[in-house]
Chain A
Amino acid sequence: MKLIKSTIAILAIAFSAAGSLSADESLQVRNCTWCHGTSAQGFMRAPRLAGQRDQYIENQLLSFKDHIRDNPRSQQYMWGAAANLSPETAHDLAAYFSTLPPNAADDGDATLAPAGRAIYEEGIAESNVAACVVCHGPNAEGVREIPRLGGLSYSYLKERLEQWGEGFHAAAGPMPQIASTLSPNEIDSLASYLSFVAYDSAQ
């Protein structure tokens, strides 16, 4: 009787563990979600993967592996994580995460969002700041290899924009050039605005 009870307990543990990985039982997904969150919505400084464009995720995984994306956190975490990734696995992981519906982080400064929206949609022609909308789309949804920005976390967006201006990930043209035209306040505004952009399932 005692034995049966403990067997049930073990089975219960096994099933509950399986439940948290219910979407995909592959070990690779679990390796990602340790940092990116159990539902891949991003966690702490690790960006959301859910709903990201599959070609973008795949390209980034390969660029971590090839050390082309060389931001400090990329070097610290992703270079190792992607070191032994096969192109097929990168492809499959990208396909999986892109299908998960994303939630907006909503963690920017709401008072800066209108200014961020204006830059996103219109640019600032006087100071040669490009309008983000022309590549990233009207709802910041991204397309093909161009990433979805809507609803990513404020801190992640801010850090990426700052680091392009500092010379990291220099191969990702034209972003280094664009980010270097942005003032710290403009980066704050853009990152704030984008953190609130909600997912539209039609896009």
Chain B
Amino acid sequence: MKIISLRLALQTAIFAIVFAAAGRAEVRGAAEGLQGKLEYCKTCHGLQGQGYRGYYPMPRLAGQQPKYLENQLRAFIERRRTNPVMFNVAHVLTPSMVEALAAHLRELNPEPYGGAPRESLALGKTIFEQGLPESNIPACSACHGPEAKGNNEIPRLAGQLFWYTEKALTNWTKERGQGSAQDTSAIMVPTTHNLNQSQIAAVAAYVSNLK
């Protein structure tokens, strides 16, 4: 009898939780929680963190290096990276939450978003693997790794949205490039200046297809 009533109590409790969670008020109440924040990230960055092409391209976060994510979130707050929306988002995240979010996103591995133009993938591969010595462009793979997975503060490029990488490389000095002791984005300044627009498109298309 005791077991039965315990089981009944447990079932009732589970039902209560399920019903409460279904309410809109509860969804907002959970906003402080990690799960709520994670879903918030995925609202814009894709339900599996694969990125999303809205009016602006929202980058893939899946499989990203935690160190890089932490640096960028700090860069938004310190206005080293200009983005009013991400400034607000980064502002409400505690360091421990950033750490937990980055650890979770690191483990996601959805298929690339796709949609990049296909006509200059060969040039993109050459730039990525060998660079263009005559234009002072080093091989991307030297720092980002042979599979473009990144390392610590150096970001993963594999599977990144074509339009995002293209925009980042085109506007580098406008949007970032100031760097800091932890943020190495200043390293990219000369390279982004030396790449022309069709080379940018080629390498952005190439890495967007890598898994």
Contact = CB atoms under 8 A, between A and B. Distances in A.
Interface of A: 121-123, 125-128, 130-131, 133-138, 141-143, 146, 165, 173-174, 177-178, 180-181, 183
B129 interface: no
Given A123-B88, A174-B47, A136 B54 contact: yes
Interface in B23-66: 24, 27-28, 31, 36-37, 39-40, 42-44, 47, 52, 54-56, 58
The secondary structure that dominates the B interface is helix
A146 B53 CA distance: 10
Nearest to B40: A128
Contact of B89 (A121, A125, A133, A135): A125
B47 A128 contact: no
Interface residues of B, number: 23
Given A128-B31, A181-B28, A134 B36 contact: no
Contact of A181 (B27, B56, B89): B27
A122 B43 contact: no
B55 A123 contact: no
Contacts, number: 67
B10 to A, nearest CB: 28
Please list the 8 inter-chain residue pairs (A to B) with the smallest Cβ-Cβ separation, ordered nearest first.
A135-B54, A137-B55, A128-B40, A125-B88, A131-B85, A125-B92, A127-B31, A125-B89
Contact of B91 (A125, A128, A131): A125
Contacts of B39: 128, 177
Interface of B: 24, 27-28, 31, 36-37, 39-40, 42-44, 47, 52, 54-56, 58, 84-85, 88-89, 91-92
Contact of A128 (B36, B52, B55, B84): B36
Given A122-B85, A125-B88, A134-B85, A177 B43 contact: yes
Given A123-B85, A125-B92, A135-B55, A130 B31 contact: no
14 contacts: A125-B91, A125-B92, A126-B31, A127-B28, A128-B39, A131-B88, A134-B55, A137-B55, A142-B55, A165-B24, A174-B42, A174-B47, A177-B39, A183-B24
A6 to B, nearest CB: 57
Contacts of A177: 39, 43
A165 B89 CA distance: 23
B110 to A, nearest CB: 14
Given A127-B28, A136-B54, 8 more contacts: A121-B84, A125-B92, A133-B55, A135-B55, A174-B43, A177-B39, A180-B27, A183-B24
Contacts of B54: 134-136, 143, 146
A76 to B, nearest CB: 26
Contacts of B43: 128, 130, 174, 177-178
A142 B24 CA distance: 28
A143 B52 CA distance: 13
B84 A126 contact: no
Contacts of B24: 165, 180, 183
Nearest to B36: A128
Nearest to A178: B43
Contacts of B44: 130, 134-135, 174
A154 B105 CA distance: 38
Given A123-B89, A125-B91, A128-B40, A143 B55 contact: yes
A125 to B, nearest CB: 4
B112 to A, nearest CB: 18
B54 to A, nearest CB: 3
Contacts of A127: 28, 31
Given A128-B39, A165-B24, A136 B55 contact: yes
